[in-house]
Structure 1
């Protein structure tokens, strides 16, 4: 099975794990709108203009003074904005307590000395000092408290809120920039940024529980956790859309893109698991977030790609990644399988699109297999007619056709199984149909060669090579494909016909030489049957080396065909009705000749490799019918013979009984009727008497 690791090999220069999320080569982000807004707002800030105005009832040193009005102000709220001036503020009771989570993370920026001014906070944030988040948070809380208490004018509250928001814009950009490249920053700095985001999420929930003063703009929820997730999605897109580090020759653009995206996603997620997961709080669900972002961009890219008309190779690769490489080599890789187990990322393509691509792939692959098989047969048949001698392998004539055809079919099947087993099953059914058609075409092409190329020098050698091919076809189909026997038998029918026609052609000249020898039996009225048979056997024995290049199994089958021919021709001569023996002694003498000849035929054929044991009783049983004189005994022998050779008919029996010139016609009729009892008992598995015509 094609593995993704094969794609990953040979990619020198692939970024290290550190580089997977650090993005050292990515361009620096241009100054954002929020940063520009922050600059504009903060440029107006000074110690004086951020101090509460006298109209709000505040003194420069932050002391509470009595108002001309009778309305009483809560202690501490009127001095909330005095923290923006140096050294004259006291710690406010509305600021976070030391037991609050954020206070535990505060730096000495706030804990030592007087509270920082806005200029100092702005400078701290611009220099990346994330500990400034806590004084900014305190300002926001005090501002809310002041607005709720009515301790300042609407104009003053709006002006002060704009300064707080300007600080938050700076803080947000600094925090998200750290978390955008978390492996570039020190772990302590990443932890600081994460703590800020976590605190902001708490503040979002706190703000949702109570109303906001009408005069203040609604700034919550800030949703920094959501912004971080959006940043992760942007990072995933940047990483996956980046150019491949190395582009080996021979790959298509689509293949290079798949390999790059697959390698990048796998390595980046491994870095997240190994280096970021220990740093990030559980609420960030960092592995899940990165996995979903990378998966979504990968899926979006593939969905877009699938809309175009793809070449055959790219269609296959797309399905291979969707079904096999992506789920097995990335999501279920050793380092990621456990971490992604509970994350249902789903498929890279929707089911409808997948089914369409599978149909296109099956159609393309079947067409290719058909063309390749046809081309292989054409090349093979051209070698026949060009009188090219076949190869010899282990002493047998050999043809590469079967190997080529099986390899073509197996490759198509293997590609389908690499996608899914279900696609493999569909492909198997389609390819078997095409293979059956190819084998029928092979048979027709071979028959045409047998008919038209008899004068070629390598005619017989190529016939033997093609007969040997049948074994390679049959063995491959039996071993590689689980095909039901009925279907396999139907599939192999053209090969059986091809082999039979090949045998007939190879044996044609031998059988022609034997024909006049068998005629001697009747021409001499069986005067010298032993000498005649010896000449027949000698003639066969001389010709057998011509078939030595057949594979062993086919040489045995051919010898069985020779064995059948010898028995059949012998019976034909007995059935010619030219020999009528009227005495018991004459009949017994003929029976002895038949038994002697039967033994010679049997011994020779067995020694020559014939497996046809089913022919052993064909001649001896006929000899017994001729020898017997008792009608009842003959009936028993005929009945037995009919069970051995179901195609033994009344016509054949009549021809044998005609030899017995002393048998009354009434007894002959009674003996023939025995075959009526056995008619239809069974069909002959191998034809013998159906090959013998009697008149």
Structure 2
């Protein structure tokens, strides 16, 4: 169908109306067949149905690619473009999950000793467990890894079941129903979900042990362990083990984990699905995982940049090519850091930008280079200001304050009046309290020595600084 579409609209001067109508009808027929097949995803009973689901998924992805190609063309698309089958796919499966949770087929257990509310909760829970096991065993093999179908279903069931439980909780419950509901929320439900989560995590560990790199999606490493990892400590152990072993493919897994941690953190914070104590317990763990990932990925970068750091703040530093070498090496390392999602990558290189700037300031404030006259002060001012601009441009960072702090230091370097120097350093310390008092004070003798031919007198204002 896509080949016919390309021929009619891209390779022919004027599309034949009858051929277009026939193509539209065939496209509509295929679309209906795809949605019918998707609706059978959780009840596949033969190899033919499994094969049909694989074909339906492939068709959806091809339609998405064709939609993107049409966006790049400057001509009127056919009536069925954009088809947005991926969006419709998600809607169909969401409706499928809602229907199965509204009318669970699993036996409800001992209804004689249960209220209708207890029976409904238990029946939905069993349906959830059964369906998620089916997804892992059957449905997953029909999808490419980048579609992350296991997590998609887990999110849908989690959201649907959570919504049903919240709705039940709005009723006036008797003590037995209330106790049963609380036990489900605190004990049974997390346990059932962990069966699914455990299997996904086991698969991730198996790939790691076999030396395989994680799957890529649009060039980014992805991890199947996302969103619903309630017992996040297990994931942290897996994460730290990857770092500790430091295998050739460790960096790829850590980049995938950074994206996963970001997703899970957003899910915890932005959605009212978890109790406050769960969020309070999980968020520090996720923060630790992110920091350990940053340290693991950025420490080798600083080792490579160290020879260039050593020349900052020295007489060689005022020569343009010295800083250019630092920029070139940093740019090469930025390429090596790619692999996580775009937002995670930007946050990672933003951290590197901050650390490089801190090292720049640290080396500059050691005062190894003495500015002996106003010409050298002006040269130092221009150098720091230019360096700040180029660093900001290289990292494409939104952290304007990093450029501002270097610019303010540059302003201090060109001042000729001692009281003005003192006031500017005080202002610098107030604006950036993380800049140590020792670092602030070291600026003064490095600059003001040029004004008096030697070390200046320590005025009361200087002593206060």
Normalised by the length of structure 1, the TM-score is 0.40
- Is residue 211 of structure 2 the alignment partner of residue 387 of structure 1? yes
> Deviation digits for residues 497-550 of structure 1, max 9, x if unmatched?
21222122222222211100121235x523653111111111122232223322
Structure 1 segment 618-657 matched on structure 2, within 5 A: 618-657=405-444
- Is residue 236 of structure 2 the alignment partner of residue 443 of structure 1? yes
- Is residue 383 of structure 2 the alignment partner of residue 590 of structure 1? no
Task: Report the Cα distance in structure 1 between the residues aligned to 2:287 and 2:204, rounded to whole angstroms.
Answer: 19
Task: Report the Cα distance in structure 2 between the residues aligned to 1:461 and 1:646, rounded to whole angstroms.
Answer: 37
Of 339, 360, 363, 2:187 maps to 363
- Is residue 314 of structure 2 the alignment partner of residue 512 of structure 1? no
Is contact 1:470–1:495 with CA below 8 Å preserved after alignment? Answer: yes
1:474, distance to aligned residue in structure 2 (A): 2.5
Task: Report the Cα distance in structure 2 between the residues aligned to 1:485 and 1:652, rounded to whole angstroms.
Answer: 42
Structure 1 segment 8-23 matched on structure 2, within 5 A: none
Alignment match, 1:211 = none
Higher helix share: 2
Largest Rg, 1 or 2: 1
Task: Report the Cα distance in structure 1 between the residues aligned to 2:460 and 2:196, rounded to whole angstroms.
Answer: 63
- Is residue 371 of structure 2 the alignment partner of residue 581 of structure 1? yes
Alignment match, 2:346 = 556
> Deviation digits for residues 648-673 of structure 1, max 9, x if unmatched?
22200122223122465544662352
> Deviation digits for residues 450-478 of structure 1, max 9, x if unmatched?
021x233x221111111110232133234
Alignment match, 1:311 = none
Alignment match, 1:354 = 177
- Distance 1:251-1:619 versus aligned 2 partners, 3 A rule: closer
Structure 1 segment 114-125 matched on structure 2, within 5 A: none
Alignment match, 1:474 = 265
Give secondary structure in 1 for the equivalent of 2:398.
Answer: coil
Is contact 1:319–1:354 with CA below 8 Å preserved after alignment? Answer: no
Structure 1 segment 55-204 matched on structure 2, within 5 A: none
Task: Report the Cα distance in structure 2 between the residues aligned to 1:548 and 1:603, rounded to whole angstroms.
Answer: 17
Normalised by the length of structure 2, the TM-score is 0.58
Of 455, 478, 484, 2:247 maps to 455
- Distance 1:618-1:365 versus aligned 2 partners, 3 A rule: same
Task: Report the Cα distance in structure 2 between the residues aligned to 1:486 and 1:529, rounded to whole angstroms.
Answer: 56
Structure 1 segment 222-621 matched on structure 2, within 5 A: 251-252=106-107, 302-303=112-113, 317=119, 351-355=174-178, 357-358=180-181, 360-361=183-184, 362-370=186-194, 372-374=196-198, 376-403=200-227, 405=228, 435=230, 438-452=231-245, 454-456=246-248, 458-481=249-272, 488=279, 491-521=282-312, 525-526=315-316, 528-606=318-396, 610-621=397-408
Task: Report the Cα distance in structure 1 between the residues aligned to 2:106 and 2:304, rounded to whole angstroms.
Answer: 64
1:611, distance to aligned residue in structure 2 (A): 1.5
Alignment match, 1:673 = 464
Alignment match, 1:274 = none
1:317, distance to aligned residue in structure 2 (A): 2.7
User: What's the RMSD between the two structures over aligned residues?
Assistant: 3.4
> Deviation digits for residues 125-155 of structure 1, max 9, x if unmatched?
xxxxxxxxxxxxxxxxxxxxxxxxxxxxxxx
Q: Which moved more, 1:639-648 or 1:659-668?
A: 659-668
- Distance 1:369-1:319 versus aligned 2 partners, 3 A rule: closer
- Distance 1:543-1:318 versus aligned 2 partners, 3 A rule: closer
- Distance 1:387-1:637 versus aligned 2 partners, 3 A rule: same
1:250, distance to aligned residue in structure 2 (A): 7.5
Q: Which runs of 5+ in 2 are unaligned?
A: 1-103, 125-172
1:382, distance to aligned residue in structure 2 (A): 3.6
> Deviation digits for residues 563-599 of structure 1, max 9, x if unmatched?
2233222212212232233433333332222222222
Alignment match, 1:338 = none
Is contact 2:213–2:252 with CA below 8 Å preserved after alignment? Answer: yes
Give secondary structure in 2 for the equivalent of 1:658.
Answer: helix
Aligned residues: 309
- Distance 1:670-1:477 versus aligned 2 partners, 3 A rule: same
1:638, distance to aligned residue in structure 2 (A): 1.7
- Distance 1:369-1:543 versus aligned 2 partners, 3 A rule: same
Task: Report the Cα distance in structure 2 between the residues aligned to 1:469 and 1:555, rounded to whole angstroms.
Answer: 12
Q: Which runs of 5+ in 1 are unaligned?
A: 1-248, 259-301, 307-313, 323-349, 407-434, 675-695
